[in-house]
Structure 1
Amino acid sequence: MKQCPFSHSGKRDSVTRREFLHGAAMTAAGLAVAGCAPNAPESSSAQGSSSPAEKGKPVVAIAKADSYDPKLVKKQVQKMLDGIGGVSDVLAHGNRVAIKVNLTGGTNTKPFPGTSEVETYLTHPTVVQALIELLRDAGAKDIFIVEAAYQKESWPAYGYTDVAKATGATIVDLSYADPYKDFTKVPPGTDPMVYESFVFNPILTEIDAFVSVSKMKCHNVAGVTHTMKNLFGNVPCRYYTLSPQDDWSWRSEFHGKASETGERVPKIIVDLNRARPVNLALIDGIMTAEAGEGPWISAFTPVQPGVMFAGKDPVATDAIATVAMGF
């Protein structure tokens, strides 16, 4: 596994605009997508690309933003949605939408000094609020903000209770079966890599569209963590632990034994994305951190790339963000 290109131990601390746009165009044109996302629209041009997308190829939009100013963020998210051909096809099957955010670590984790959690390693609520407002304008009626949070306190602590109130969205904590009587089991389709099925809150099976909004980060095991890795939070921790002491803290069963973690985690990411495919992917890289997924990683240091990504294919969207990080 490569070191994060902008980590302290890496040989490189940046990627030039020329390299970024060239790499993004080449990756989007050549990427083979296998079973983790619906087909990309045929008539869109990628934001930042000088040529229209080839027919049938995934389209990923890129936008700059130097802060989390709400007006700026909404303007740039709108540009990205326009750049991928709008969201009418995302909402084509209905207007019930779930937005998966990343609230890893829980409220017991102390942020890096001088920064907030949502600036450095959690999905920023300003990005999610902008997206909700734009999806409403596009016809979405019932919008749910979802995550298997470590603690219920995470929702108000990280600004999502306020977002829900401001937008009329409903928070559904995937750590619980509520508002249903019980969880359901969902298979990842044929030929699973690790799991025959996953324990899901039924909301994930009843929505018409699923959106993954992640922070752009390196990851100590997976290399990077974007919209596909974000789906680790689709399942309640307590059903995926190796020890009772792990309840409500982390999915130790997903990681398995230390000797198998490096191969096991990527396979489970694939299974999770097959069980609940992502219809729209958005990556927040306005502010983040280098060298790891959270402040529990010793080299974790805040950085400000000032960029966002969006696409209807999470494989392509994550790949473009990975190119931007210098991989």
Structure 2
Amino acid sequence: MRREFRNFDEVLALSEQELAARTVGIDYPGSIDDLRPLLDWNIDGQRAAVSMTACAGYNPTTLREALKRGFDLLGVGDNLANARKIVVKVGLIEASRPEEHVTAHPLLMRELVLLLRETAPSGASICIADGSGHERDTAHLLNLAGVQAVLDELRIPFVDLNTDDLRVVETPQPMAFREFVLPRTITDADFVISLAKIKTHHRAGVTLGMKNLFGCVPGSVYGFPKTRLHYAGVARVIADLQSVVKPQLTVLDGVVAMEGTGPLDGSPVDLGAIVISKNTAAADAVTARHLGFAISLLPQFWYCLDKGLLPRPTVVGDEQQVLTRPFEPPNNIGWLRDTANQSIEQQTALLARLLSSAHPS
């Protein structure tokens, strides 16, 4: 049975083992049978196209060609036809240089904004936004990451979501929070784009389009580095935020990705791809599998499946031209390596161990 908590203090009152299980999301209330669609990718209901376009480097022309091809493959222009308030939500996390590959590259941000200007209706507003989890000196962060130069060149605003005006939004079928306090820049937008770097993550396995949504909630309410979200359960909150923010487009920067001790201290990998989808969960699922990680063993997909957020993905574009060696996961979840290529029986055995570890006899 799903355990309900009346308030956040009840979560903090859990035992150390219960809280650890809650934090990473393995305190799943269901069974392996509930998660079987993740084991064989036999997901009922809607389908979603995911484009994976080859992109060999951060050259403006190469970036523009890859982005435009992805837009064309997915028919993104049709979705932008009525957009009036477009928010490009980036994941800046903390002050870091572009060559550290912690966040999406500023040149990719630049080319994406230019393509949006060409594709969206005349008069549509575009801003770049984020609520950093670690860095409170936003000006320093933007300058070091190379984002301020893009803002100045293109004359577009940046919105700090940590300090924006707020409103309360109810969560459909909540897994962690029955409601969220969200910035009005997000709630008032009619087209939200999750622009994220492809990386591994020590708690979520991967941090992609959905985990990027953690930066949509204000640190003034949820703490730094968004502490309440982590204690309430990273995987659960990922699914909840996906159902509340509902990005209309996800763009993942895998030109150079990160493996190992992500999301901050991993090693760069020339993956050579940009992944785009109108469905964030589908984009994340395809990308995780391509990195060698079984989605059946990543708890955020358990809760997305429960909430009906995960469609059956169809990959279009250049998947076969993109690096296909298994990524190194963080050391604390090293067993996740190359699990996407394991048999269903092997994945089932690992899944059983994960679920039982949260409910010891």
Question: Residues 120, 69 of structure 1: CA spacing in aligned structure 2 closer, same or farther, 3 A cutoff?
Answer: same
Partner Cα distance (2:60, 2:98) in 1 = 18
Give the CA RMSD over aligned residues: 2.2
| Structure-2 residue corresponding to 1:185 | 168
| Structure-1 residue corresponding to 2:114 | 133
Gaps of 5+ in 2: 1-37, 294-361
What is the CA distance between 1:119 and its match in structure 2? 4.6
Contact 2:90/2:104 (<8 A) preserved: yes
Q: Match of 1:198, SS?
A: strand
Partner Cα distance (1:167, 1:29) in 2 = 42
| Residue 100 in structure 1 maps to residue 66 in structure 2 | no
The partner residue of 1:88 within 78, 88, 109 is 78
The partner residue of 2:190 within 200, 208, 230 is 208
Contact 1:217/1:292 (<8 A) preserved: no
Q: Which has the larger radius of gyration?
A: 2
The partner residue of 1:308 within 254, 274, 298 is 274
**1:236 partner amino acid:** P
Question: Residues 66, 144 of structure 1: CA spacing in aligned structure 2 closer, same or farther, 3 A cutoff?
Answer: same
Partner Cα distance (2:68, 2:59) in 1 = 14
**1:269 partner amino acid:** I
Contact 1:28/1:59 (<8 A) preserved: no
What is the CA distance between 1:237 and its match in structure 2? 1.8
| Structure-1 residue corresponding to 2:125 | 142
Matches within 5 A, 1:1-327: 30-32=42-44, 57-89=47-79, 91-104=80-93, 106-107=94-95, 116-117=97-98, 119-140=100-121, 141-149=124-132, 150=135, 151-152=137-138, 153-177=140-164, 182-189=165-172, 191-241=173-223, 249-256=224-231, 264-296=233-265, 300-327=266-293
Q: Match of 2:171, SS?
A: coil
Number of residue equivalences: 250
Partner Cα distance (1:132, 1:307) in 2 = 18
What is the CA distance between 1:28 and its match in structure 2? 12
What is the CA distance between 1:309 and its match in structure 2? 0.5
Q: TM-score, normalised by structure 1?
A: 0.71
Higher helix share: 2
What is the CA distance between 1:87 and its match in structure 2? 2.5
Q: TM-score, normalised by structure 2?
A: 0.65
Question: Residues 157, 166 of structure 1: CA spacing in aligned structure 2 closer, same or farther, 3 A cutoff?
Answer: same
Contact 1:62/1:309 (<8 A) preserved: yes
Question: Residues 319, 95 of structure 1: CA spacing in aligned structure 2 closer, same or farther, 3 A cutoff?
Answer: same
